[in-house]
Chain A
Amino acid sequence: MALEIYHQLGHNAVWNFDSIRDDNTGDGVIISPRHIKRSKIEAYPVNTRNRAIFDPQFFLPREAFKKLTTYEFFPANIANEFETNGFIESHANDCAEACVNFQIENGFRFITIPTRYLPGMPSDFSANLEKIFIRPHITALNSKTNHNQVLLEIIVNQQMINDAEYQRDLLNWLTGLDGIDGIYLILERPSNPKQFQDENTIYNYLRFINAIKLNDMFLVMGYLGLESLVYSIASPDIVTIGTFENTRVFQIDSFAESETDRRGPRPRVYFSKLIQSIDHGLLDAFSRRLDDYNELLDHNGYQVEMFQPEFKWHFTKSAIYKHHLLEFSTQLRNIAELDGRQRFERVTEMINIANDNFRRISEAGIPLDIDSGGNHLNIWLTAMNEFAQDQGWR
Chain B
Amino acid sequence: MKDKAKEILNYLEGKTPIKTGGQKRVYVVNSKKYGKIAVKIGKFDSEKVLERAKRETETQTKIDSPYFAKVYEFLATDREYIIVEEFIEGETLTKRLTEYSEVKDALDLLNHLIEGLKLLWPRIVHRDLKPDNIIIKSNGNPVIIDLGIARLLDHTSLTLSDQGSGPCTPAYAAIEQLTNRKTDIDWRTDQFALGIITSQLLMKGQHPFDPKYIGNRNSYADNIMSGIYKIEVPKVVSELIKKMLGKEPHQRFRKPEPLIEKLNKISEVL
Contacts and interface: CB of A to CB of B under 8 A. Distances in A.
A261 interface: no
B184 A175 contact: no
Interface string A173-186: 11110100000000
Interface in B230-251: 248-251
A172 interface: yes
Interface of B is mostly: helix
Contact of B250 (A126, A178, A215): A215
B254 A172 contact: no
Interface string A83-108: 00000000000000000000000000
A168 interface: yes
B122 interface: yes
Given A211-B250, A215-B250, A216-B254, A172 B122 contact: no
Contacts of A178: 122
A214 B188 contact: no
Contacts of A168: 248, 250
A171 interface: yes
Interface string A132-176: 000000000000000000000000000000000000110111111
Interface in B211-259: 248-251, 254, 258
Contacts of A174: 250
Contact of A169 (B184, B186, B254, B258): B184
A129 interface: no
Q: In the complex, which of the residues A169, A172, A215, A217 has the most CB atoms of chain B within 10 Å of its own CB atom? A: A172
Given A211-B250, A214-B251, A173 B183 contact: yes
Q: In the complex, which of the residues B122, B186, B188, B254 has the most CB atoms of chain A within 10 Å of its own CB atom? A: B254
B258 A172 contact: no
A174 B186 CA distance: 12
A168 B249 CA distance: 9
Contacts of B122: 178
B258 A175 contact: no
Contacts, number: 33
A176 B249 contact: yes
B176 interface: yes
B258 A216 contact: yes
A174 B249 CA distance: 11
B254 A171 contact: no
A171 B258 contact: no
Contacts of A172: 176, 184, 248-250
B184 A217 contact: no
Contacts of B184: 169, 172-173, 176
Contacts of B176: 172
Interface string B97-139: 0000000000000000000000000100000000000000000
A211 B250 CA distance: 7
A135 B30 CA distance: 47
A170 to B, nearest CB: 9
Nearest to B187: A176
B186 A176 contact: yes
Contacts of B258: 216
Nearest to B253: A215
A217 B253 CA distance: 12
Nearest to A212: B250
Interface in B138-182: 176, 181
A216 B253 CA distance: 9
B117 to A, nearest CB: 16
A382 B181 CA distance: 34
B248 A215 contact: no
Q: In the complex, which of the residues B248, B250, B251 has the most CB atoms of chain A within 10 Å of its own CB atom? A: B250
Contacts of A215: 250, 254
Contacts of B186: 176
A217 B181 CA distance: 24
A176 B251 contact: no
Contacts of B248: 168, 171-172
B242 to A, nearest CB: 12
Contacts of B181: 169
B264 to A, nearest CB: 17
14 contacts: A169-B181, A169-B184, A171-B250, A173-B184, A175-B249, A175-B254, A176-B184, A176-B186, A176-B188, A176-B254, A178-B122, A211-B250, A215-B250, A217-B254
3 nearest CB pairs, A to B: A171-B250, A175-B250, A215-B254
Interface of A: 126, 168-169, 171-176, 178, 211, 214-217
Given A169-B184, A172-B249, A174-B250, 19 more contacts: A126-B183, A168-B250, A169-B181, A171-B250, A172-B176, A172-B184, A172-B250, A173-B183, A175-B250, A176-B184, A176-B188, A176-B250, A176-B254, A178-B122, A211-B250, A215-B250, A216-B254, A216-B258, A217-B254
